[in-house]
Structure 1
Amino acid sequence: MTRRDRRLLEHTTSRRRLVTIRVVVVLAALAGADYVGWRWVASVNWHSWWIAVPLILAETYSVIDSLLFAFGAWRIRERGEPPAPPAEDVTVDVFITTYNEPVELVMRTALAAVAIRHPHTTWILDDGARPEIREAAEAAGIGVITRSSDWIDRPRHAKAGNLNNALLATEGEFLLILDADQVPDPRILDRTLGYFKEPRMALVQTPQWFENVPESDVLGSQAPLFYGPIQQSKDGWNAAFFCGSNAILRREALMQLGVSRYVDEVEQGVHRAIRTSRRLLARAREEAEGQPRVLQALDEAGAIVDRARAELANGDGIADVTYRFQRGIDAIAFRFAGADLAAMRQDLAELAALSVEADTFAAIDDSALDLLAQRDASPIVAIEAISLLVGALDVSRGDEAQAIMPLATISVTEDMATAMRLHGLGWRSAYHDELLARGLAPEDLPTMLTQRLRWAQGTMQVFFRENPLVQRGLSFAQRLMYFSTMWSYLSGFAAVVYIAAPVLCLAFGVIPVQAYSVDFFARLIPFLVLNQVLFWVVAAGRPTWRGQQYSLALFPVWIESVTSAFRNVYLGQPLGFRVTPKTKQEFTGHRWDLVRPQLVAMGCLVAALVLVAVRYASGQAHGIAPLINSAWVVFDLAIFSIVIRAVRYTGPEALRDKEEAA
């Protein structure tokens, strides 16, 4: 790597901008800590604890959220001109993932991929195995990869499984992954491959931008804050993560990840099986008291389990340990099976003698059944559970189509978990903030809600299964950067409190804060102002209002994502997976039912304003508390107004015509 390339790999954020951000970060962090500390110590109205405590908890949540954002912004990394691309002999596979998207849409992306300047091979990964896709692709000289028969009756793992299947069917050193609707710029590889001159660079993520979104962005699709300052902040801490599309990955890193995860999962499975075997043996001994043959079998099985445990502790190879374990358990079963077979022959002879007719068993009487019942229980039955555990020690992973699964399959979204695991292995990532692909965003409210719910569910599945705060290999900063994304989806619960508190105050005079005094305003106002200044400075002119609206207005989606992911991970309830439609769905009327919780919340807010006016008129309301809460309600209504527009939204063409007419 040349000295120039090394300089370009360093962040190019101007010193003045970075100093400004850090000054605001310090001020905002101090103001937030001061406010929430004072609230806990001096202002909780314990007489109305049932709303006062949830409110202070919600405010504490918001302060922590602000601190996490500020921590990331401390090292925001705005990369400049990318390093020069490597030689053309670097091999690249371009993967276009599809399941049920229209052929025309898929081929539009595929043909654009063929036109990418850097030498590469384009593949359509058709998880729907559609003949029309193969026909169109082959006519254009584009390869098609579908699942092999190995996947039949085995978990498919949605998009992650599709990519894992293609990984083992191709050989390129690097992979460009594109969704079916993401049309790449011909320069995309020239502008990103240079980062991989850094030998530990595993991932380069570029923004997702949507060409069918009008300037007003009613559905909040563009996410300029995330695909900008947030990813740049994560990039400063080497935590920019994979977003599922428009990303280039190093095959070596993915394969190392797949092998390491395979080894880890096998090791965990073996240790778990050994622990479970010891518990089962202990329980079986209690139930087999007075049955010497059973106790003998259990003692022999226990010795084998203890030996396997000791061998694992000594660092013996897992394959050797599991082989000896399996052979030992099988030997016990076979030996006692032979003894049982001989006993069964004797039983049959005795049953024949007791039969009314010597040549049949048509009349077996109760005394014959009693004779069988008096025999000791079979050791085979006693160690059956242990024998079944041998399957858990099978390192071939026959339950999966592939033993090696480089892309994470623990959630309905494969991207974040894969990136987190790569970082845990010491690999690096980069966020290149340049539009190098143009996609299609949802054009109606139902599709948008489906997409947002799936993203949130996938993130929370990762949180419940592989909490970044306790993952090995991650730095402290990387843990916080991943945790901050997961933490943000808990905002739905705080939103409920932020809606309920002012309604209770205005409608019923319930005040959760002990006193709206000078001390209160001297702490609250600086915190709110400095937070907005921090957003403004970090955003650097990017629009953030739509994102702020949807972070609150979609509170039912965020709550459902957390609860459904929890039930899936801990209770085994299916989550379901639905591919986000890439084309506009047939209009069936305005779907007000999809925003019923938001409409109820807006109704309560409006009713609270009416009631406080009545209370003022009747002399029941006085002081500054109702005025503050009235302003709070008006702000909430401004936030929620976006759902009205979203329900009435009929597509980009109609809205664009209105904007042009205006």
Structure 2
Amino acid sequence: MSRRLLLLRVIVLVTALLGINYVTWRWLFSVHWSAWWIAVPLVIAETYSLVDSLLFGMAMWRLKERGEPPPPIPDATVDVFITTYNEPIDLVRGTAVAAVAIRHPHRTWILDDGNRPEMGRLAEELGIGWITRSGDWAGMPRHAKAGNLNNALQATDGEFLLILDADQVPSPDILDRTLGYFTDPEVGLVQTPQYFVNVPEDDPLGSQAPLFYGPIQQGKDGWNSAFFCGSNAVIRREALMQVGIARYVHEVGVGVNRALRSARSVVARARKELGPEETAVAKALDEVLYDVNRARREIARGEALLDVTYRFQHRIGEIRRRLVAEDMQLVAADLEVISQLEGLAEASDQSLATVSLESIDRVTARALSPLGAIETVEALVRAVDVDRSDEAMPIMPMATISVTEDMATCMRIHGLGWRTVYHDEVLAHGLAPEDLESMLTQRLRWAQGTAQVMFRENPLVQKRLRWPQRLMYFATMWSYLSGFAALVYIAAPVVYLTIGVLPVQALSSDFFLRLVPFLVVNQLLFFVAAAGRPTWRGQQYSLALFPVWIKSVTSAFGNVFLGRDLDFSVTPKVRKEDERLRWDLVRPQLIAMGLLTLAAVVGVVRLAVGQASVLGTSLNLVWVVFDLVIFSVIIRAVRYRGYAPETAEAPEAPDEPDEPDGAAGTALPPTSPASEGDR
């Protein structure tokens, strides 16, 4: 065990003990219940941040620094996929030329979801493949990038896939540095960092993520939970196809089970409507119910769906044929009765119509066997869409449950027992958004996709995942709930400074003796984990983007549970030529800054006139100043006019890699050292 890892584990233990002690004490002894409307939200927010801190500490407990990779597999066949939709041709050209220059033998493909003839000409010029959507996708859900990749998987056959976004220019040795991990037959994916070359040193939009593509991914790697981040990753085709097949079987199984549950309800309802004399029919329906339950048990045991449904349909067919034969005998007897009645009618000069109606009433007064129910059972099971006619492809290896396909796909890969690797070396260089609107679009899409996965396939209930894996995935999803906690951290000092309501019982020595050591050790954990990486910008944006995080969760909830549309936007790769200062994009943050400033002024006035305590006012003024410093990043972001290489040197690739953010930081009290709110 390295000294750094040993130190991290000691700090993690101390942080956990101090944090649990503080939050437990807060709940039991210091909540100001008479002001519950602010006191309870604050202690809930602190509890949220403690959980965030504990999850981060768990990741750091197994932080893995892999060092030099194994030598590559010499005869591995590789397809290099460059995904594009509407990016400029010249941008894709740069990535494609670099992909062709990769030293390990491979085939390069442009996956052109925009189906542009000029992109086809570029591919022909470079001597590489050009894949567009097949005709099967016409009129079907396209599933954005996931659909683009799934379509390409059907047209290629390499053992391994290197996936690159259109702006991610690979190094010539990217395959030489990653393929060696696949000598382990259980490794299904190797993820490398994303690093952006068009970012100034002060990183005004928080594009570089030195914490996520560093200790956070390394910590997840230690728990076999490092996940796919959409680009700069090598994936074993077998793992992906296994995911697709397993998902297909699962979804067909869900359909069959749903059909069987409905069938059971139909038969049970028909059974209740039978009279006491209809014992033969009741027996037949009981047989159907037994077969429905037996089919469900066979599916639960893992028997082949084809065999189960075939046997079930065969047995139901036999019961139906037997009942039809019995009904035909009853119908023949009824016709005889009708004939006799009509003869009596002629003898008594009664109306034929009247006698016929009486005859029919007599016959139908005794219900025939409920063949309709049995036919419904057969139809329900036959109706299960094995071909998945609502999709262009029945088997979708890349997950389509989210606007971001990466996390859900990797979670399924882990669920099938595959291992993943995080290789901590920058092997591709990309482009970050160069304006605030594009950055907000990107962060919202990341957050919405993660929230969709949380609502649709919550890792905590995925039985195929080990518990550490469940928690590592959940940590990423949990971090996007920080927007709600941020609202409380902003409101608490405003409430005290303006109306004097304190959310704790008292600012006593007990309070400070528990809080201060926790904050100090918590920040020490953050500092040691970062290992010199610049993480301040990430801390700022974890709070400053609170409206984005809130919108991502609420919109994903509406999409998953209420069926509302969730717009998908590709992150622009070029700066929008708009000279306006887009203050409208950060209106909630500006309102928060205004409230904090106004509260500070009111607090000083209240202190001056003797309506507030020195200790309470001073503490909350420090809190306000901290929040304002955090929010100051949005002023820089609005005024940012894009990267100017002629006036600033392009940053060197760091010794330790970066990418979509991992740094956190809440307003006071910053009880969480790091989250993953920007991934």
Query: Cα 1:393–1:502, aligned 2, differ >3 Å: closer, same or farther?
Result: same
Structure 1 counterpart of 2:6, which letter?
V
Query: Cα 1:392–1:649, aligned 2, differ >3 Å: closer, same or farther?
Result: farther
Matches within 5 A, 1:502-521: 502-521=493-512
**Equivalent in 85, 88, 91 of residue 72 of structure 2:** 85
1:96 maps onto 2:87 in alignment: no
Give the aligned partner of residue 355 of structure 1. none
Structure 2 counterpart of 1:247, which letter?
A
Answer with 65-74 or 255-264: which moved more: 255-264
1:73 maps onto 2:63 in alignment: no
What secondary structure does 2:163 align onto?
A: strand
User: Is the contact between residue 266 and residue 373 of structure 2 (CA under 8 Å) also seen in structure 1?
Assistant: no
Question: Separation in 2 of the partners of 1:444 and 1:501?
Answer: 32
Give the aligned partner of residue 347 of structure 1. none
**Equivalent in 44, 57, 80 of residue 57 of structure 1:** 44
Q: CA shift at 1:434, angstroms?
A: 1.0
Give the aligned partner of residue 497 of structure 1. 488
Question: Separation in 1 of the partners of 2:298 and 2:5?
Answer: 54
Unaligned runs of 5+ in 1: 1-13, 344-367
Q: Deviations over 1:583-634 (max 9, x none)?
A: 1123162222221111111111011011111212222112411211111011
User: Is the contact between residue 210 and residue 440 of structure 1 (CA under 8 Å) also seen in structure 2?
Assistant: yes
Matches within 5 A, 1:11-22: 15-22=2-9
User: Is the contact between residue 322 and residue 393 of structure 1 (CA under 8 Å) also seen in structure 2?
Assistant: no
Question: Separation in 2 of the partners of 1:310 and 1:659?
Answer: 63
Give the aligned partner of residue 25 of structure 1. 12
Answer with 308-317 or 142-151: which moved more: 308-317
Give the aligned partner of residue 425 of structure 2. 434
Question: Separation in 2 of the partners of 1:294 and 1:412?
Answer: 51
Structure 2 counterpart of 1:59, which letter?
E
Give the aligned partner of residue 238 of structure 1. 224
Give the root-mean-square deviation of aligned CA atoms.
3.2
1:167 maps onto 2:158 in alignment: no
Question: Separation in 1 of the partners of 2:646 and 2:583?
Answer: 19
Question: Separation in 1 of the partners of 2:437 and 2:357?
Answer: 65
Q: Deviations over 1:455-482 (max 9, x none)?
A: 1111111111221122123222212111
Query: Cα 1:194–1:370, aligned 2, differ >3 Å: closer, same or farther?
Result: farther
Structure 1 counterpart of 2:46, which letter?
E
Answer with 251-260 or 603-612: which moved more: 251-260
Structure 2 counterpart of 1:642, which letter?
V
Q: CA shift at 1:312, angstroms?
A: 3.7
Q: CA shift at 1:296, angstroms?
A: 9.8
Give the aligned partner of residue 556 of structure 2. 565
Give the aligned partner of residue 584 of structure 1. 575
Give the aligned partner of residue 186 of structure 2. 200
Give the aligned partner of residue 27 of structure 2. 40
1:535 maps onto 2:521 in alignment: no
Matches within 5 A, 1:507-656: 507-587=498-578, 589-653=580-644
Question: Separation in 2 of the partners of 1:642 and 1:307?
Answer: 63
What secondary structure does 1:653 align onto?
A: coil
What secondary structure does 2:644 align onto?
A: helix
Answer with 258-267 or 521-530: which moved more: 258-267
Matches within 5 A, 1:246-645: 246-283=232-269, 302=289, 305-306=292-293, 308-309=295-296, 311-312=298-299, 316-326=303-313, 386=377, 389-587=380-578, 589-645=580-636
**TM-score computed with the length of structure 1 as normaliser:** 0.87
**Equivalent in 139, 145, 158 of residue 153 of structure 1:** 139
What secondary structure does 2:404 align onto?
A: coil
Aligned length, in residue pairs: 627
Query: Cα 1:285–1:22, aligned 2, differ >3 Å: closer, same or farther?
Result: same
Unaligned runs of 5+ in 2: 332-355, 652-679
Matches within 5 A, 1:202-221: 202-221=188-207
User: Is the contact between residue 97 and residue 178 of structure 1 (CA under 8 Å) also seen in structure 2?
Assistant: yes
User: Is the contact between residue 499 and residue 605 of structure 1 (CA under 8 Å) also seen in structure 2?
Assistant: yes
Query: Cα 1:290–1:111, aligned 2, differ >3 Å: closer, same or farther?
Result: farther
Q: CA shift at 1:561, angstroms?
A: 1.2
Question: Separation in 2 of the partners of 1:574 and 1:548?
Answer: 31
Give the aligned partner of residue 129 of structure 2. 143
User: Is the contact between residue 200 and residue 648 of structure 2 (CA under 8 Å) also seen in structure 1?
Assistant: no
Higher relative contact order, structure no. (Cα contacts within 8 Å, ≥ 6 residues apart): 2
Structure 2 counterpart of 1:75, which letter?
R
Answer with 592-601 or 258-267: which moved more: 258-267
What secondary structure does 1:624 align onto?
A: helix
